[in-house]
C-alpha cells in the first residue's frame, strides 16, 4: 500500500499539469505541429520529476540496477522529446526557432530553453560514448550531476517564463517538484555521502572515543 501511494503521488504530480494543459482553450488556435512540439516539452518537464528519483533508487520497486536501467531508458525518451519539441516549433515557425538556436531571439526564455537542450544532448552523447572515450565512472558521475543541474534549472526558468497552454498553478507546482527532486538527489549523492565518509573516517581515528 505504501508503494502504491508513493507511486500514485508522483504520477499524479506529473499527470495533473499535463491534463490541465491538454484542456487549455489556447490549443484551438494552434497548429498540429505546434501542439505536438509543445506537448513534447511539457511531457519532458513532467518526466524530469521521475528521472532523478530513479537514478537515486528512491521509488519503491525501482532501486538498484532496475532503477538505473529505467533512468537510462527515460534519458533516451527525454532526449527524443527534446528533439521533437524543437522540431515541432521549427515546423511551426522556422525563423523564430533559428533565432532561438542562434541566441538572437528577443524572447528571454529562449536562452534558457537552448541551454537546457544542449545540456540534454551533451548528456546523451557522453552517456553513449563514455566507455569508448575512457570517461572514468567518478568523473562521469560528476559531469552528469553538473549537467543535470543545468538541465533542471534552465528548463524550469524556460517553462515559468512562457505563458502558454500550461495552467500557472500546476505549472509552478511541477517546476518546484523538478527542482526539489533534482536538488535532493544531487545533495544526497554528491554532498551528503562524501561528508558521511569524512565523518566516519574522523570517528575511527585512534584516540577518538
Q: What is the mean pLDDT of residues 141-161?
A: 94
Tell me the C-alpha distance between 195 and 192, whole Å.
5
Record the pTM: 0.86
Distance of CA 89 to the CA centre of its chain: 20
Q: What is the dihedral of CA 154, 157, 160, 164, to 10 degrees?
A: -50
In the structure, what pLDDT confidence band is assigned to residue 91 with cuts at 50, 70 and 90?
very high
pLDDT at 148 over 90: yes
Q: What is the rounded CA–CA span in Å between residue 193 and residue 21?
A: 39
Mean pLDDT, range 137-158, rounded to an integer:
93
DSSP helix, strand, coil percent of the chain (3-state; round to 5): 80, 0, 20
Amino acid at each position: 500500500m505504501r508503494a502504491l501511494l508513493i507511486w500514485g503521488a508522483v504520477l499524479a504530480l506529473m499527470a495533473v499539469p499535463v491534463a490541465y494543459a491538454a484542456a487549455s482553450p489556447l490549443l484551438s488556435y494552434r497548429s498540429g505541429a505546434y501542439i505536438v512540439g509543445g506537448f513534447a516539452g511539457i511531457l519532458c518537464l513532467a518526466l524530469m520529476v521521475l528521472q532523478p528519483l530513479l537514478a537515486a533508487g528512491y521509488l519503491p520497486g525501482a532501486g538498484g540496477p532496475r532503477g538505473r536501467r529505467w533512468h537510462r531508458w527515460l534519458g533516451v525518451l527525454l532526449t527524443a522529446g527534446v528533439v521533437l519539441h524543437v522540431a515541432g516549433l521549427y515546423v511551426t515557425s522556422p525563423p523564430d526557432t533559428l533565432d532561438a538556436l542562434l541566441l538572437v531571439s528577443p524572447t528571454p526564455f529562449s536562452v534558457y530553453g537552448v541551454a537546457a537542450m544542449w545540456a540534454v544532448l551533451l548528456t546523451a552523447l557522453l552517456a553513449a560514448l563514455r566507455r569508448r572515450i575512457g570517461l572514468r565512472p567518478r568523473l562521469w558521475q560528476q559531469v552528469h550531476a553538473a549537467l543535470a543541474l543545468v538541465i533542471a534549472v534552465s528548463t524550469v526558468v524556460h517553462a515559468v517564463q512562457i505563458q502558454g497552454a500550461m495552467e500557472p498553478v500546476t505549472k509552478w507546482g511541477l517546476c518546484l517538484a523538478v527542482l526539489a527532486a533534482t536538488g535532493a538527489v544531487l545533495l544526497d549523492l554528491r554532498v551528503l555521502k562524501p561528508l558521511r565518509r569524512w565523518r566516519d573516517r574522523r570517528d575511527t581515528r585512534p584516540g577518538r572515543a
